[in-house]
Amino acid sequence: MTKIGLAYINGAVPGFEDFGCLPTDIVKENGLVNGNKASDELDALIIPGGTLIESNDINMGLNTEIKKMARDGKPIIGICAGFQLLSNQIDIGRKSPVPIVKPGLGLIDVNFSPLITSDRVKAKVFKNSFLVKNQDEDVNGFHTHTYGKVEGDAKPLFYSKVQRMNYGDTNEKGDYNIFSGACNDDGNVIGTMIHGILDENPIIVENLLEQIDARDTDEIYNRNMEVKRYLNSEVGINTGIKVPQIQPNKKPKYLMIGSNGSDSGKTFILTGLAGALRKRGYKVALLKVGPDVRDIIPGLYLTKGKMEDFASVKIGHLGWADIESTIAKLNSSDYDIVLIEGVMSVFTGLLNEKVPFSAAEIAMSSNIPMILASGVNKGGIESAAIDLVSHANMLEKFGVDVEAILLNKVYNDDIFDQVVPYIKNNTSVENVLKLPKLKSADMRGFIPEVEIRYELFTSHAMDLIESNLDIDLIVSMAREVEFGKIYSFDEIKRKVI
């Protein structure tokens, strides 16, 4: 019987994609499958993305088995962080004055360093492995990476055409190509930065199955269903938190997490809510307004949710799918709740003639209710309260329902209690919520833009959300929506005035 392993370890996102519906067996840190060594049991291994380098020890048992499988000529496919694990070394020191270098397994002769990309991509193919035999056209997939610069002497497999890097457009034509896949000299150890490589390119799946002489494809797909049930039975990785079965909603309900600016904690709040809702049995879809879908990955780590092809909501030319088609797909899906993370301030981009170009316009388009959040760590609680009142009243003018105002990183409960009446007396918002300042927020591995470890970030987020917010109240704020309209630039200007 053919067995294709899927690494299930801290920091991995094994539900992020379907991997061609091929994995038949789960492999954990100890490198065992059904009590036996993975190198003896498996015909091939898939290593998913995530924060494997930040979250795991290079000496774990699974890595010994990976090396043994590589020596035996068995196919190993590492995607994103899985590719990094197979490389020589990875510099994870983004925003650090000096490189922070972590070792890889040294199976593919490349090194990694910081480079942010988050595009849907097409990639040129180089015929250096069995995996791309007969793949004469460009392959499809997507990037969502922080450490995506690949350099080295390994045989190339893919070069991805990207439109944006490090938050900026590459050029007017959007035809900048970056090294995005390589293999070892024998072609059996493969790494790529392209997510969805097995989901969106059938020839590659056929090549893998042929390479391992898999003739029992029906059995593979049946066992894959069992793997998916296992993935979906637990919140996060190795937490022991089981997901209960609940009666699903007929249509999903929506809720946006907006803010008055960057560093408000939107990603932290969305992550904690996603985990708390999944823990209660809800199937949660996560969306990001704008192109940087990296922000929703910690939430997907907890929910085991898929990075959908509509997860990045278009504003102007940035993003993957427009809000109209996204809502149409979601309203015919089996999701229960849709959480949408805004971008910067809800009004950032509002007066750009490209429409929509802000989170507020996305909310306006479909009457999506909102939790409006602000971090209080920079200007203080009082300043945040005044700013939130202004934002909430302008959103109301636009017809957006602010279901709650949330002050994040609150350092003094007495001051918070004093500003609550001010907020309620000067807005129509009934719910004023708070999250306390997290004492461990300065720990390495906790800050997305510096270095993030998913298992650390997500556990803190879910614990803080569940300890301080009424989850049933949050659920009651979400509601079913239908797409209405995109407001023109002139209509928006009139509302502002």
CATH of the domain at 79: 3.40.50.880
Residue 103's pLDDT is what?
A: 95
Same domain assignment for residues 430 and 397: yes
- Any bridge partners for residue 374, and if so which? 407
In the chain, which residues have pLDDT < 70? 172-175, 440-451
Examine residue 239 and state whether it is found in any structural domain, yes or no.
no
Contacts of 478 (CB under 8 A, 6+ apart): 253, 254, 255, 337, 338, 369
Single out the residue in 231, 264, 286 at which a domain terminates. 231
Distance CA 188, CA 43 (A): 12
Residue 294's pLDDT is what?
A: 95
Residue 95's pLDDT is what?
A: 77
Same domain assignment for residues 278 and 413: yes
Place of tokens 């490389």: 87
- Any bridge partners for residue 142, and if so which? 120, 195
Same domain assignment for residues 413 and 267: yes
Examine residue 306 and state whether it is found in any structural domain, yes or no.
yes
Examine residue 246 and state whether it is found in any structural domain, yes or no.
no
Residue 495's pLDDT is what?
A: 81
Same domain assignment for residues 299 and 212: no
- DSSP string of 252-278? -EEEEEEEBSTTS-HHHHHHHHHHHHH
Same domain assignment for residues 142 and 272: no
Q: What is the pLDDT of residues 136-182, one digit of tens each?
A: 999 999 999 999 999 999 999 999 999 899 988 887 555 689 999 99
Examine residue 237 and state whether it is found in any structural domain, yes or no.
no
Burial label, 229 (beta-carbon count in 10 A; 0-12, 13-18, 19+)? exposed
Task: Look at residues 49, 7, 56, 48 and name the one whose alpha carbon lies nearest to residue 27.
Answer: 7
Compute φ and ψ for 8, nearest 5 degrees. -125, 85
Same domain assignment for residues 340 and 475: yes
Total domain count for the chain? 2
Same domain assignment for residues 316 and 204: no
Same domain assignment for residues 192 and 307: no
Examine residue 274 and state whether it is found in any structural domain, yes or no.
yes
Examine residue 245 and state whether it is found in any structural domain, yes or no.
no
Place of tokens 């990183």: 409
Q: What's the residue count for the chain?
A: 497
Residue 96's pLDDT is what?
A: 78
What six digits make up the tokens of 25?
A: 């067996």
Distance CA 76, CA 130 (A): 12
Distance CA 200, CA 327 (A): 22
Q: 267 lies in which domain range? A: 253-496
Burial 327-355 (b: 16+ CB within 10 A, else e): beebbeeebbbbbbbbbbbbbbbbeeeeb
Residue 445's pLDDT is what?
A: 58
Same domain assignment for residues 289 and 413: yes
Same domain assignment for residues 262 and 227: no
Same domain assignment for residues 187 and 302: no
Query: Would you give the end-to-end CA distance of the chain in angstroms?
Result: 69
Residue 98's pLDDT is what?
A: 82
Same domain assignment for residues 190 and 310: no
Residue 358, domain CATH: 3.40.50.300
Distance CA 361, CA 338 (A): 17
Cis peptide before 14 (omega within 30 of 0): no
Distance CA 69, CA 3 (A): 13
Q: Check: CB of residue 232 under 8 Å from CB of residue 242.
A: no
Task: Look at residues 472, 270, 252 and name the one whose alpha carbon lies nearest to residue 371.
Answer: 270
Examine residue 248 and state whether it is found in any structural domain, yes or no.
no
Examine residue 206 and state whether it is found in any structural domain, yes or no.
yes
